[in-house]
Amino acid sequence: MKLNDLKDKVILITGSAKRIGREISVFLSQYSPKLILHYYKSHKEVSELLSIVKQYNQNSYSIQCDFSDKNQVEQFIKKIREEKIDILINNASIFPKHDKWELFDSSLANQIFYVNVIVPLLLIKNCFDAPRSGIVINFIDASIEKYFSDHFVYRLSKVSLKHATKILAKELAPYVRVNGISPGAILPPAQLNKDNIIEEDLNKNEFYQKTLNSIPLKIHGDPFYIIQGIQFILENDFLTGCVIPIDGGEFL
Ligand SMILES: NC(=O)c1ccc[n+]([C@@H]2O[C@H](COP(=O)([O-])OP(=O)(O)OC[C@H]3O[C@@H](n4cnc5c(N)ncnc54)[C@H](OP(=O)(O)O)[C@@H]3O)[C@@H](O)[C@H]2O)c1
């Protein structure tokens, strides 16, 4: 598929309002697909984004859902089933601060797994349950290739999503291609504050300076490299079950 063929396609992007999700949405919008922009807390940001993407396709719209709330997810899926989704980008994710092995807690673990694994799988299941062509891109994390005890359940959730990407690539072939992107240090970590609103820990320059030492290529991350990954996955019809690390070699 060429990006110019996106014109007649319907694309669902979860967590689209800010950061990497926003960059992907703005990039894809110029090819005029119908974009369904999922968001959770970022009302203001998504309405600003919608005004940009609607310049290219008036049918694009935003849709709110808290992926940790099973009832909301059920309603969300009902609405999504009314669409014929061609491309699903599972980008939304939670990255709680107090997710350490010492503080292991089953209710937080369930929440992280629900948002980061179960909802992406439910979306794949419901967007592509009939045999027709489609593309899924799951967002993983390059750091899962090494073993750290901070963000413990988050890491386990991303390992699961990576594994699921490969299983589903076989399961959904030949109709649907299922791939993933594993970002490295692209943007400063976003943590949820007490109102569940995303805040970045460091400003970008501080973050890039801090991460440079551990990146073999000695250049810092940027959402631009993720966009290049998205383009590659969309355009390469022979690619499935592949999770591409985009991390400057940091986790080799
Ligand atoms: N940034 C990096 O350098 C990096 C590194 C490794 C992996 N990744 C992965 O790449 C993807 C994008 O990264 P990012 O840093 O841009 O992501 P992010 O800012 O951490 O999260 C993306 C979006 O997820 C949504 N979200 C959070 N909690 C939710 C909930 N309960 N229900 C529904 N949506 C919820 C938020 O939407 P609202 O804003 O609308 O609330 C948020 O904007 C993520 O999957 C992340 O794990 C990123």
Ligand 1 centroid distance, CA of 92 (Å)? 4
Fold of 3-187+222-246: Rossmann fold (3.40.50)
Query: 187: Cβ below 6 Å to ligand 1?
Result: yes
Question: At 242, which amino acid appears?
Answer: C
pLDDT at 201 over 70: no
Place of tokens 């719209």: 61
Q: Residue 129: what pLDDT?
A: 92
What's the 14 CA to ligand 1 centre distance in angstroms? 9
User: Which structure tokens are listed for 219?
Assistant: 């250049």
Domain boundaries, the chain: 3-187+222-246
pLDDT classification of 191: cutoffs 50, 70, 90: low
CB 223 within 8 A of CB 23: yes
Instruction: Give mean pLDDT, residues 13-33.
Output: 98
Residue 108 Cα to ligand 1 middle (Å): 17
Q: Is the pLDDT of residue 33 over 80?
A: yes
Pocket test for ligand 1, best of 20, 89, 186, 230 (most atoms within 8 A of CB): 20
Instruction: Report pLDDT digits (tens) over 43-56.
Output: 999 999 999 999 99
By most ligand atoms within 8 Å of CB, the mutation choice from 64, 198, 224, 246 for ligand 1 is: 198
Query: Using a 6 Å cutoff on CB, does residue 208 contact ligand 1?
Result: no
Q: What pLDDT, in 10s, does the model give residues 133-178?
A: 999 999 999 999 999 999 999 999 999 999 999 999 999 999 999 9
- For CA atoms 177, 178, 182, 183, give the dihedral sign: positive
* Å from CA of 94 to ligand 1 middle: 6
What is the CA(174)–ligand 1 centre distance, in A?
A: 30
Q: Enumerate the β-bridge partners of residue 13.
A: 37, 89
| Strand pairing category for 134-139 and 176-183 | parallel
- Confidence label for 198 from pLDDT (cuts 50, 70 and 90): low
Query: Which pLDDT belongs to residue 130?
Result: 86
pTM: 0.97
